[in-house]
Structure 1
Amino acid sequence: MSYDTDLQLFIDGVWKSGEGRDAHTVVNPVTASGIAEVPYASQSDLEEALAAAQRAWPVWRSTDVEKRSATLHKVASLLRERSEHIGAILTQEQGKILAEAKAEVAGSAQLFDWYAEEIKRDYGRTLVRPAGQLSRVIRQPVGPVATFTPWNFPIYLLAKKVAAALAAGCPVISRPPHETPGCATEMFRALADAGIPKGVAQLVHGDADLISRTLIGSQEIRKVSFTGSTPVGKHLMRLAADSMTRITMELGGHAPVLIFDDCDLEKTLDMVVPQKFRNAGQVCVSPTRFYVQESIYQPFLKGFAERTAKVKVGNGLEADTKMGPLANERRPEAIGALIEDAAAKGARVLAGGHRGNQGFFFEPTLLADVTNEAKIMNEEPFGPVAVTRSFASFDEVIEQANRLPFGLAAFAFTENGRRANLIGDLVESGMVGINTFAISVADAPFGGVKDSGFGSEGGKEGLESYQVVKAIHQA
């Protein structure tokens, strides 16, 4: 299966290719070899995009909501029609297995459909006033938006931002990661083919520092939405402070998983092991720190290790592959260093622990008895490594779950209803899944607390993040 896409910029309704621009090599993580060249936007390209967004802004915000909705529905339809094609591009760029890539495209289409309908339910409210007076509260689009997205879910996370912003009436300029430009390009091709007006949706590949400083520092951009690491998020926040630009930050996590002895252990293992190694663990809400009650700790380790050893690693385009490579050359080395550090501090390697012989592969890995002094207990590994330790009491495990400055997602497995309620209340996290990992869905808010960021995407909260509130009083 060939890498079949034409990597281009999309600015003011026009597709732009190399034409003397700098370029970056796109690498297939299976072979560690280049498969394409993506053109980088120049300073003049960015200025053109900003001017186009500013021109498009009054037109798009005044476009009838039914017409906006129809355009988004058309995008969803095109993404579904092209899911096989886009999924194959995604797999070759990022490494995840084809089934996961196609599911990501389908999820992206669902977001466009959901926001196409949600914008029709965007009601304001009327306040109680004496006869002859009127006070009302309305929501209006914030203005042109800049989005920055990562490579782990390159089309879904892009769609989550773009669909909501467009539904709200905001033009968008998007900068996708250089590792995965093809699937992002295909999403914007669907937008163009759906008839999005010139300047309303624009795609700029290129240098992250140049693009972030230019867009965030401009007077045109009114809102920035970023998904990525905590250090980069804090850097963008500083840039946004100078221009008083609104921001949404979905940053790193290190999700705790609380396994209690009243859970159905075999059923729980059948859920947590595939989820841990989904997308090779390169998931911001990946279950990572497993805290297991003492009485079932050893059976849990045995069952986890047995299942881990059966995960077939290989090219994501092959039907029997269950886990592909990591996304870039930095990840295997970083994962290996974290495992070495944990082992030096007393952790036991019960499965995996080694990188592959080619490409960016790393074995699915299980670590037991990991101490809090190990780096991997304090730094998000963002790879196929599960770290485990036992706990004795409820209070102890809640303390451990809340120990880190991260608070994006947390999970728990228990059949005790009161305990489940307490976990939902006491765990410091933007999202909590109890006996489920299904926390990223179109109609629910997605976001974190503490160093995992602020603001939400998804659900009505995601739409509201691209709006400003106005109170109008009339006597």
Structure 2
Amino acid sequence: MSEYRVTDPYTGQVVKEFPTATDEQIRAAIERADAAYEPWCTTPMAERAAILGRAADAFASRSRELAEIIRTEMGKPLGQGIAEAEFSGEIVQYYVDNAEAFLADEVLEVRSGVDARIRKSAQGVILGIMPWNFPYYQVARFAFPNLMLGNTVLLKHAPQCPWSATAIAEILAEAGLPAGAYENIFATNEQIADIVIPDPRVRGVSLTGSERAGAAVAEVAGRHLKKVVLELGGSDPFVVLSADDMDAVVQAAVDTRLENSGQSCNASKRFIVLDELYDDFASRLGAAIAAVPVGEPGDEDALVGPLSSQAAAERLRQQTASAVAEGAEVLAGSLDDGGDARVAPALLGGVTEQMQAYREELFGPVGTVYRAKDVDDAVRIANGTPFGLGARVWCTDPELALAVADRLDAGMVSINGAGSEDVDMPFGGTKRSGFGRELGPHGMEEFMNKKLVVG
């Protein structure tokens, strides 16, 4: 049985299989990507923009079809899948519209008075290793800034997402992207480590995934002196210091915890609340989370679907059962689920620093709530994790909110519900959440050659 297969998490049935690439096919894909690089990077910007602009349109016009694919691959509720496909098209269009400005020369003021400037250009073939939780969005934010820059792309998608991977490649081919500029490879981890990363024609690697995968890829890339961008896990804090509208704060907490069935690296997973607000917040949040049902296939408005697989669901059950066995309390919801991929939303309290759950990422619709005695204690709890992706702060005092945001060890902080994720905002973290940035102008700079030219 191929490693690349679509297993519907609603039914557990294998729907499609795609053959894993042979070593020869992997080498041929690298050869095609390398051969396509010079013609593509010298293609006029307007022509590159026209091609990728057609791809952006396709994500929007085919959004329902694309959503059905990932509903089958990883269980994403249909409405969220449509939104993901459409947002992916917006990302593509953002780089189409702004690439020329992003690639303009940067003139330097140097003390010698000579003309000195930074010329921005592509580097070559870039490998992307993508996850299953956002099958289109993650690819869009990696691949399309690199394609607009002039790099060519090797794309290894998650083994459970070969159908969506194929759909992206088809969109690009139909848009007129030259052969070889985007190569979809159904490679094994061993082939990536033994063949792709060591190849001198591959100039860099971007991975979105687990800590373990990131460490393994970075180790191989380091041995071969390849630049790496890593977007890894998160256990984002949601810090509540004060609120004028507690209902709005609770609704924001529900939305961020349960989006994508709780399977988002930058979802708020730990709710840290000042003592005087804790009881009210925890009671409201628990009731709201427990009231959210697990949706059924085809339910366009569902907030929560099944997890991506039965294995993912079982992993979450084990984590939560371990926390309860160590003394955590189920404040709302139920952990008594069946053996399939459905996991009901729940909220845990009483998690202490001695418990494994204090340091782990719960990747599913289970949140944890913490009582903080004061602002300093809230910051301590928020930073008491190996991760440092994003954070949210709720506070009616703007100066205090900004001061707390400055103290949080994270790559992104949102204050009072302000959105921190859009096409023009850089996305990335610190600590074990990885390094490097995607989206915004920074997303085009990671695999860019910034060449100093003095004349």
TM-score, length-scaled by structure 2 = 0.96
Match of 2:321 among 335, 340, 349: 340
Instruction: Return the offset for 1:344.
Output: 2.1
Residues 356 and 35 of structure 1: is their aligned pair in 2 closer, same or farther, counting only changes over 3 Å?
farther
Q: Within 5 Å, which residues of 2 pair with 1:176-195?
A: 176-195=157-176
For residue 320 of structure 1, report the CA deviation from its aligned partner: 5.1
Q: 256, 271, 276: which one pairs with 1:290?
A: 271
1:62 is matched with: 42
Deviation at 1:437, TM superposition (A): 6.3
Instruction: Write the deviation string for residues 109-145 of structure 1: whole angstroms up to 9, x where unpaired.
Output: 0111001112110222233469994322111112110
1:314–1:262 distance in 2 versus 1, CA, 3 Å: closer
Distance 1:350 1:385 in 2: 11
Q: Does 2:94 correspond to 1:114?
A: yes
- Give the superposition deviation at 1:274: 2.4
1:208/1:115 Cα in 2 relative to 1: closer, same or farther (>3 Å)? same
After superposition, the Cα gap between the structure-2 partners of 1:239 and 1:446, relative to the gap in structure 1 and judged at 3 Å, is same
Taking structure 1 as reference, are residues 60 and 323 closer, same or farther at Cα in structure 2, changes over 3 Å only?
Answer: same
SS at match of 2:409: coil
**Once the 2 structures are TM-superposed, how far is the Cα of residue 377 of structure 1 from its aligned partner?**
1.4
Q: Report the Cα distance in structure 1 between the residues aligned to 2:405 and 2:258, rounded to whole angstroms.
A: 25
Query: Does 1:79 find its partner at 2:59?
Result: yes
Deviation (angstroms), 1:345: 2.5
Partner in structure 2 of residue 152 of structure 1: 133
Q: 1:359 aligns with which of 340, 353, 356?
A: 340
- CA separation in 1, counterparts of 2:11 and 2:453? 60
Alignment-derived partner of residue 288 in structure 2: 307
Give 2:413's aligned residue.
432
Residues 341-373 of structure 1: CA deviation (Å, up to 9, x unaligned)? 221222210222325436311110111122122
- Whether the aligned pair in 2 keeps the contact of 1:407 and 1:428 (CA below 8 Å) is yes
- Residues 295-322 of structure 1 show CA distances to partners (whole Å, capped at 9, x for unaligned) of 1211112111211222121324224533
Farther off after superposition, 306-315 or 156-165:
306-315
Structure 2 residue identity aligned to 1:431: M
Structure 2 partner of 1:210? 191
| Alignment match, 2:238 | 257
What residue in structure 1 maps to residue 310 of structure 2?
A: 329
Unaligned runs of 5+ in 2: none
The aligned residue for residue 21 of structure 2 is: 41
User: Among 401, 405, 426, which residue is 1:445 paired with?
Assistant: 426
The partner residue of 1:53 within 28, 33, 37 is 33
Work out whether residues 73 and 116 of structure 1, in 8 Å CA contact, stay in contact via their aligned partners in 2. Answer: yes
Distance 1:131 1:220, change over 3 A: closer
Give RMSD over aligned pairs.
1.7
Q: Does 1:101 align with 2:81?
A: yes
TM-score when scaled to structure 1? 0.92
Could you say if the C-alpha distance between residues 50 and 320 of structure 1 is closer, same or farther in structure 2, counting changes exceeding 3 Å?
A: closer
Bigger Cα displacement from structure 2, 375-384 vs 262-271? 262-271
Q: How far apart are residue 57 of structure 1 and its match?
A: 0.8
For 2:300 and 2:415, locate their aligned partners in 1 and report how far apart those are by CA, in whole Å: 31
Q: How many Å separate the matches in 1 of 2:194 and 2:396?
A: 50
Q: Which residue of 2 aligns with 1:406?
A: 387
Aligned residue number for residue 18 of structure 1: none
Looking at structure 1, the residues matched to 258 and 194 of structure 2 have their Cα atoms a distance apart, in angstroms, of 35
Percentage identity across paired residues of the two chains: 29
- In structure 1, runs of 5+ residues without a counterpart are 1-20
Contact between 1:32 and 1:358, CA under 8 Å: does it hold in 2?
no
